[in-house]
Amino acid sequence: MPEPTEPPYPGVPAPPPPQYPEPSTPPPPQYPGAAVPGPQYPGAPALPPQYPGTPAAPTYPGTAAGRAYSPPAPPAHPGTPAAPAHPGASGAPAAPAYPGAPQYPGATATAPPPYPGGGHPAPAPAPEPPHVAAPQPEPQPEPAPDDLDYRHRGGRVLVADHQRGADATAIGRLAAQLPGALVSLAVVSSIALGILGTVMGWIVTLAWVAGGALVFHRPSELAFARHVLKLRAPTAEERARLEPVWREVTARAGIEAHTYELMVENSDELNAVAVAGHVVGVTTYALNRIPSSNLAAVLAHELGHHTGGHAWAGLLGYWYSLPGRVAWAVMRGLARVAIAVASVFSLAAAAFVYFFIGMAVLAGFLGAWYVTVPLVAAPYLLAYMGRRGELRADQQAAELGFAHRLAEVIHHFRTEEEAAKAAAAAQGQKLKAPGPLDRLLSTHPDHETRLSALEPYLRLKR
What's the confidence (pLDDT) of residue 390? 95
Give residue 69's pLDDT band: very low, low, confident or very high (50, 70, 90): very low
Q: Is the pLDDT of residue 267 over 70?
A: yes
What's the confidence (pLDDT) of residue 90? 45
Determine the average pLDDT of the residues in 272-288.
92
Q: Is the pLDDT of residue 148 over 70?
A: yes
63-72, 165-174, 379-388, 415-424: lowest mean pLDDT where?
63-72
Q: Is the pLDDT of residue 444 over 60?
A: yes
Q: Is the pLDDT of residue 241 over 70?
A: yes
What's the confidence (pLDDT) of residue 17? 52
121-135, 236-250, 284-298: lowest mean pLDDT where?
121-135
Q: Is the pLDDT of residue 272 over 90?
A: yes
pLDDT one-digit tens code per residue, 188-199: 999 999 999 999
Helices 447-458/403-426 angle, 10° precision:
150
pTM over 0.75: no
Q: What percentage of the chain exceeds 90 in pLDDT?
A: 36
* Strand 272-275 versus strand 261-265 pairing type: unpaired
pLDDT one-digit tens code per residue, 409-443: 999 999 988 888 888 888 888 777 778 888 888 98
pLDDT one-digit tens code per residue, 327-377: 888 988 988 898 888 888 888 888 888 888 888 888 877 877 777 888 888
Q: Residue type for 366, please?
A: L
Q: Is the pLDDT of residue 229 over 80?
A: yes
Determine the average pLDDT of the residues in 266-272.
93
Mean of per-residue pLDDT scores for the chain: 76
Q: Is the pLDDT of residue 29 over 80?
A: no
